[in-house]
Chains A and B, each alone.
Chain A
Amino acid sequence: MKVCDLVDKLDLKVFCGQQGINRLVDGAYVSDLLSDVMGNVDENNVWITLQTHKNIVAIASLKEVAAIILVKGHEPEQAALEQSNTEGIPILGTKLETFEIAGRLYALLNES
């Protein structure tokens, strides 16, 4: 599955990092604690969070995360947006809460 497939199937908004839209996705990690993500997210995972500042892109880039999904209508801060475009790591958005989007993503990744 690719990031663009998730965008289609989960009706996600693409805020930035469009160049990374064809990145492969093979799992996901949910956490708002940055050191937890640093220690546990795997490369090619999608990271679901409500953090919106620039450091999420730094972490995503260091860990080679496929994309970031912001929940509950959160939007990336300007510096995060710019960094996402530089790194080519998409920041996506959903109105749904973490539980719901994680559940849908889980189902989607397991059917493929």
Chain B
Amino acid sequence: MEFIYEVEGGNFIKAGNASSAVKKTLKQLNVDPKIVKRTVVALYEAEVNIVAHAYRGSITVNINARSIRIILDDDGPGIPDIELAMRQGYSTASPKVREMGFGAGMGLPNIKKNVDELNMSSIVNKGTKVEMITYL
């Protein structure tokens, strides 16, 4: 099963809509509630990262009997140093985004904690690709 969602950079009103839709789908498929919870945390953080840091992106969710595989692909500034970005507390969020309570530098560590596999690649001035896999 495959689902695709579009995400608009800068649009905080819609932030979380894709995560909410995926949560509903996983529940309907009777996925273990613990796995639903973990997946939702990881996906929300990755979705908001597109909203907060990139221009636009897409989310592709693949679900089969063995795994949930989610790929987030964005057009954006990219991440020059992924290892640094992964550190708790590291953030380049704008003052406006911080005022809303985002920008604690906890999103990527949250993702790492809540999926079985996380692969990130990025090209500066082009965009970022995040792949997360959870085994069922």
Chain A interface (Cβ < 8 Å from any Cβ of B): 32-36, 38-39, 43, 49, 51, 53-55, 58-59, 61-63, 79
Give the chain B neighbours of A35 by CB distance below 8 A. Answer: 45, 102, 104-107, 110
- Within 8 Å of chain A (Cβ to Cβ): is B95? no
Total contacts A to B, CB within 8 angstroms? 63
Q: What would 20 more interface pairs be, CB under 8 Å, given A39-B41, A55-B101? A: A32-B101, A34-B102, A34-B104, A35-B104, A35-B107, A38-B106, A39-B109, A53-B12, A54-B12, A55-B15, A55-B16, A55-B102, A58-B17, A58-B19, A59-B16, A59-B44, A61-B20, A62-B16, A63-B37, A63-B40
Question: CA A38 – CA B107 in complex, angstroms?
Answer: 9
With A51-B100, A62-B23 known as contacts, the answer to whether A39 contacts B16 (CB < 8 A) is no
Q: How far is the CB of A45 from chain B (nearest CB, A)?
A: 13
- Within 8 Å of chain A (Cβ to Cβ): is B113? yes
Q: How far is the CB of B102 from chain A (nearest CB, A)?
A: 5
What is the predominant secondary structure among interface residues of chain B facing chain A?
Answer: helix
Q: C-beta contact mask, B103-136 vs A, less than 8 Å → 1, else 0?
A: 0111101100100000000000000000000000
Chain B interface (Cβ < 8 Å from any Cβ of A): 12-13, 15-17, 19-20, 23, 37, 40-41, 44-45, 48, 100-102, 104-107, 109-110, 113
Give the chain B neighbours of A62 by CB distance below 8 A. Answer: 16, 19-20, 23, 40-41, 44
| 5 contacts across the A-B interface (CB closer than 8 A) | A51-B100, A55-B100, A55-B102, A58-B20, A62-B19
The contact of A34 among B23, B40, B101, by CB within 8 Å, is B101
Question: CA A53 – CA B98 in complex, angstroms?
Answer: 13
Question: CA A55 – CA B109 in complex, angstroms?
Answer: 20
Give the chain A neighbours of B23 by CB distance below 8 A. Answer: 62
Give the chain A neighbours of B105 by CB distance below 8 A. Answer: 35
B100 touches A33 (CB 8 A): no
Question: CA A32 – CA B102 in complex, angstroms?
Answer: 9
Q: How far is the CB of B12 from chain A (nearest CB, A)?
A: 6
Q: How far is the CB of B34 from chain A (nearest CB, A)?
A: 11
A36 touches B19 (CB 8 A): no
Question: CA A43 – CA B102 in complex, angstroms?
Answer: 21
Give the chain B neighbours of A54 by CB distance below 8 A. Answer: 12-13
Question: CA A74 – CA B37 in complex, angstroms?
Answer: 29
